[in-house]
Structure formats: structure tokens, C-alpha cells
A and B are shown apart, each in its own frame.
Chain A
Amino acid sequence: MTMERLDLFRALAAVRRDEIVITTMTATLQWPLVSRHELDFDFLAFGMGHASDFGLGLALARPERKVIVLKGDGGLLMSLGSLVTIGRYGPPNLLVLLLENRGYEMTGGQEFAPDVDFVTLARGAGIEKVERIEDLAGVEAELPRLLAEPGPHFVVLPVTNSEPLPPVAHTDHAGRVTTLRRALGVVPDAEEA
């Protein structure tokens, strides 16, 4: 079973409040269609495969705030060791939502090894709270728990997409960082202009 990715994003946006949401690459290009939030952070162009590494650091730095990482399975394969690091250091406020489409969507949908089992990989890396949710009804039922329950959580979500993708927009790197630091209160509004 799978779910439409945009439906998944709508379901998440409906229950998300003050959590940081980190998105990256083609798998999450549609997130801005459902969310315009000061705690949205577009990781695009920050480093191939490293969104959850960045999210781990952010979650460790801000233990009072949930950090949600939305990333694709191809991106995870580019930094597979990050599962081990999350298994060792992952704090309770980290939630990784892995969008599983089993191919490199950005470059034309090339399929990677078909038998990769991301749940097994994550558990084997030492992450205790690993689950797979197969459909939208399951996501809608489980998201409130995932946002409230201490983690770290690693959740595999099989997705398809039949909707047109927005164009890739490489907005200012430094500006994205400054905006998030201001939203978190790390720096006053007047600094890092």
C-alpha cells in the first residue's frame, strides 16, 4: 500500500503546531503548497543526504522543541551511517519521516536496490522506535501520537505522487539560516541581517 504524498503533507500540516519541519530535495518540493510557517526549513542545497544529520544537531540543541525531518529514501542512502548516529545520540524530540518511493525522483526516477528494507536498517542501527505506516488513514491516526510521544522516532511512509511538482527554487542559503535562528530566538531580529 502507498499514499499520495501531497495528502500526507496535508495531514501533517493539519496537526503541526510549533514543531520545526526540515524538508529537502524533490521528495518535499510540495511541502510549501500546504505550509508557510516560520519554522519550516528548506534544506535544499545544504548537502546531499544530510537533512537528518542537520535535524539531529538541531534537535540536540533545542530539546524543548520537536524537530521533524521529511526526507526521501534516496537521500537516506546517501548518508546511511546517519541511522547509527541517530541510534546513539537521537534525542526524544527528533522525528524522522522517511518518504519511501524507492527511486531517485529528482533525476528521473531511477530505481535503487529493490529489496532495501528501511525499517530493518533503522532497527539494526539502534533506533528503538521504528515503524512503518502504510496508508493515509494510518498516518492521520498516528501523527498526534508521534508528535506527542518521546522519541526519537523513525517512520517509513510509502508514497506515490500524481501531482505536478513546483519548480526547484534555490533561495538564499544564509537567509534561510537567519530566518530560522530568529524564529527560534537564537538571535534577536536585528542581528545577522
Chain B
Amino acid sequence: MGRDPRGGTPAEVSGASAARALAVIKELGFTDVVSIPDGESRHLYQALVDEPTIEVYLPTREGEGIALAAGLWVGGRQPFLLIQNTGLMEAGDALRGCGIGPGIPLLLLVGWRGYPGAAAGALPIDSAYPYTEPLLDAWGVPHRRLMGDEDLDVIEQMATLAAETSMPAAVVYGYGFTP
């Protein structure tokens, strides 16, 4: 197994703090999160569940979740999505129809399955890894990477960009959130 560029094997590398990410999310005024969590987001998901000012909805698939979030936004709420890249791939039609097409400013926090192993040079590479950023590029969805606490400002950057352009924008996290 290869070494991760941040100094450890994939299993040893942790991402941003869920508590600090939650503080950013609250500061930005988000009212709802629609999420199908992945293993890397479970601490952030739990922090959101424990946060009384944010409603948490857990749909059955990501496309369903994007449509639900779009309805929340049209009705005046400020939702964001917390999903894995594999779910984003499943949700292409919903993202097109309920985000990009009508210009609904959905912030997507996307777990990058396959990144830790690929970054560490481990083989085989998870096939979810190489398509994540090119897929967002193909949709014209701007995105930034969140790899640790030092990157937490990208949440505000992408939320602001989504609001200003009235289009979806994404934050792609490569490592699991810590508590």
C-alpha cells in the first residue's frame, strides 16, 4: 500500500472536523440537509442530526434527494446535500432537471469514494475515483476540494458562488470527517 501525500496510509488519514464543518454550515444559515451519508460523512451526519436548528432528511436515493431539496428551496428554505460521489452519478437526471436546468442554487457536499486509495497509490483504483471531478466539470458544476480543516473555507466559497450564480456548486471531500 502506498503512502498518502498527507503523511499516512489511507486508513490513517482523517479529513476535516465535523464540529468545525457544522459551525461553518450554521454560520451560512442552512436550514435543512438532505443526505444519504457515506462512511466518510457519518460523523458530520450525526453532528447535523444533533443540531436542533437544522432539519435532516434521509431519502432512499440521491436523485430523490435532489428533487426534495429543490422543493425545499423553491418553498423558501436553504437546504444543502450531503451525498457520496456514487450517488451523485446515479442522480444525474435530477441534478440536470432540479438544479442546473432551472437554476436552483444547491450546495452539494460530495464524498469522494476512491480518493484516499488513489492518492496513496494503492491498487486497484476504485472506478468511482476518476470520474468524480470530470463529471462535475461536464455538468458545469464548479467544485473545490475539502481535505482537512485548512480547507473549510471552501464551503462558504461554494455556497456563495451557488447563491450568486443561482446554480449548483460542489465541495468534494476526500477523507472522512472526524468528530
Contact = CB atoms under 8 A, between A and B. Distances in A.
A192 B32 CA distance: 22
A80 to B, nearest CB: 8
Interface residues of B, number: 33
Given A61-B75, A177-B103, A186-B74, A56 B68 contact: yes
B60 A85 contact: yes
Nearest to A22: B71
A181 interface: yes
Interface residues of A, number: 32
B80 to A, nearest CB: 13
Interface in B80-135: 93-94, 96-98, 101-104
Main secondary structure on A side of the interface with B? helix
A82 B75 contact: no
15 contacts: A47-B63, A47-B67, A48-B97, A50-B63, A57-B79, A58-B71, A59-B75, A62-B75, A81-B64, A85-B68, A173-B103, A174-B101, A176-B102, A184-B75, A184-B76
Interface of B: 32, 55, 57-61, 63-77, 79, 93-94, 96-98, 101-104, 166
Given A54-B67, A61-B73, 20 more contacts: A46-B70, A47-B98, A50-B64, A50-B67, A50-B94, A53-B67, A54-B70, A57-B73, A57-B79, A61-B74, A61-B75, A62-B75, A79-B64, A81-B61, A85-B68, A173-B102, A174-B103, A177-B74, A180-B74, A184-B76
